[in-house]
Amino acid sequence: MRITKFARVLIGIASLFVTDVFFVDTCLVARVRPSWRQPRCACCGKIAPGYDRRPARRWVHLGVGALRILLEYAPCRVHCPDCGVHIEKVPWARRDSRFTIDFEDMAAYLAQITNKTEVAAILGIAWATVGNIIERVVAGKLDPERLADLKRIGIDEFSYRRRHRYITIVVDHDKQRIVWAGEGNSANTLDTFFAEIGEDAAAKLEIATIDMAGGYIKSLEKNAPNVQIVFDRFHVQKLASDAVDQVRRDMVRQYREGDDPDAAKTIKRSRFVLLKNRWDLSPKEWDRLAAIQEHNAPLYRAYLLKESLAAVFEETRASSAKRELARWLKWASRSKLKPFVRVARTIRQHKERILAYIETRLTNGITEGFNSKLRMIARRAFGFHSAGALIGMLFLCCGGLTIDPPLPGPWCPW
């Protein structure tokens, strides 16, 4: 077997010829050329006439053990009638990259399962280079049609750094993937999303689930006035849970000021009993809840208000849910519990968008799930300094991208 053919098999890249092989220090350098006869534009991929020849350059390929493999080629510039003068396209690398496609796909694959510091150490490249590779891989593999035909979307924010640094993510409920992300959590941030998809795509939107954020409501009413806004039921229930906890803390403070530390201590230890679902309570927790019912009527009333609001969302018919919510609002308003009076005022203001859950049965649960994955990615990386780096990792790990690096096959005994 000729050494050039052996090198071609070792490199494993289609549409490539090896013309020479030599060593430079600990690197195997293979002189290569594309298998197609006429040069092509790196921007559009069309055949274009040559403009001039550039000096030889080298691309880093996946090594064999500790042996680094480099591909060497002197590309020409082409004069494309559509794109102008650009460097020619090569089959082994992306545009403006000094690494082969296999090398970059391997870097992206490793970045999905570990932090960039480990990827840099395994592949022998700089830490910043890993981020640049991720950006190129995501740009090349991200579906350009992901923003087309959106019908039902979920919108949520994610805090990636202290001092209120956020990104906004938009999820497609039907395809269950992230389709857009941008820095910030204001109405202007979501306006950028609508500017990107255009007025026609915004008019096709049917449902948007959000977490009662005022900025998102403002942007949706401005850019997609026909969309049905659905408030996430779990955020609505959280309002009631926070109100229960506020009532409990107020009563602890009241008992302490009244020189009754034992009662304050008993109520203080009941926080998770009051916030847990009824079917998750242990026998001891049921006894504690029964003691609250017997000796502390206002706190038990707050607990019943929380459970009654959760029961509203279990209704299957919109008419029944509307009737039960109206009863709950009257009860909360007359409960003499200030936190629940405030919650009732908030729910009454957004009643129609809260009840929309009964018809659509859509929540922001899928968005919260992606937020949990983002939290894991941020923890693995020990935080992110910029939103762009996090958004790149977001699409790499949660954007539905398929990374197929050249992994070893099963071991053969022959």
Q: Are 79 and 224 contained in the same domain?
A: no
Query: Dihedrals φ, ψ of 93, to 5°?
Result: -145, 155
What is the 3-state composition of the chain as percent helix, strand, coil, each rounded to the nearest 5?
50, 20, 30
Q: Are 39 and 110 contained in the same domain?
A: no
pTM of the predicted model as reported, rounded to 2 decimal places: 0.81
Residue 356 has pLDDT above 90, yes or no: yes
Mean pLDDT across the chain: 88
The CA distance from 216 to 214, in Å, is 6
pLDDT, tens digit, for every residue of 63-107? 887 888 999 999 989 888 888 888 888 988 998 889 999 999 999
Structure-token match 């209704």, residue found:
315
- Say if 193 falls within a structural domain: yes
Torsion on CA atoms 274, 277, 280, 285, rounded to nearest 10 = 20
What is the predicted pLDDT for the residue at 220?
94
Q: Are 283 and 314 contained in the same domain?
A: yes
The CA distance from 205 to 198, in Å, is 11
- The amino acid that residue 205 corresponds to is L
The CA distance from 252 to 284, in Å, is 21
Q: Are 245 and 345 contained in the same domain?
A: yes
Sheet of 16-24, strands arranged across: 16-24, 27-34, 67-73, 57-64
Percent of the chain with pLDDT over 70: 97
CA 52 to chain centre: 44
Q: Are 332 and 262 contained in the same domain?
A: yes
What are the structure tokens assigned to 389, written together? 């780096």
Q: Are 352 and 252 contained in the same domain?
A: yes
pLDDT, tens digit, for every residue of 396-409? 888 878 888 888 76
Confidence of residue 237 (pLDDT cuts 50, 70, 90): very high
Residue 412 has pLDDT above 80, yes or no: no
- Say if 404 falls within a structural domain: no
Q: Are 131 and 164 contained in the same domain?
A: no
What is the predicted pLDDT for the residue at 172?
93
pLDDT, tens digit, for every residue of 134-190? 988 998 888 888 888 899 999 999 888 777 788 999 999 998 889 999 998 899 999
Q: Are 156 and 258 contained in the same domain?
A: no
| Domain final residue pick, 94, 117, 132 | 94
Number of separate domains in the chain? 4
Residue 311 lies in domain: 235-360
Taking only Cα atoms into account, the Rg of the chain, rounded to an integer number of angstroms, comes to 30
Q: Are 265 and 277 contained in the same domain?
A: yes
Structure-token match 């916030």, residue found:
275
Q: Are 298 and 354 contained in the same domain?
A: yes
- Say if 377 falls within a structural domain: yes
Residues 6+ apart with CB under 8 A from 25: none
Q: Are 261 and 182 contained in the same domain?
A: no
What is the predicted pLDDT for the residue at 207?
95
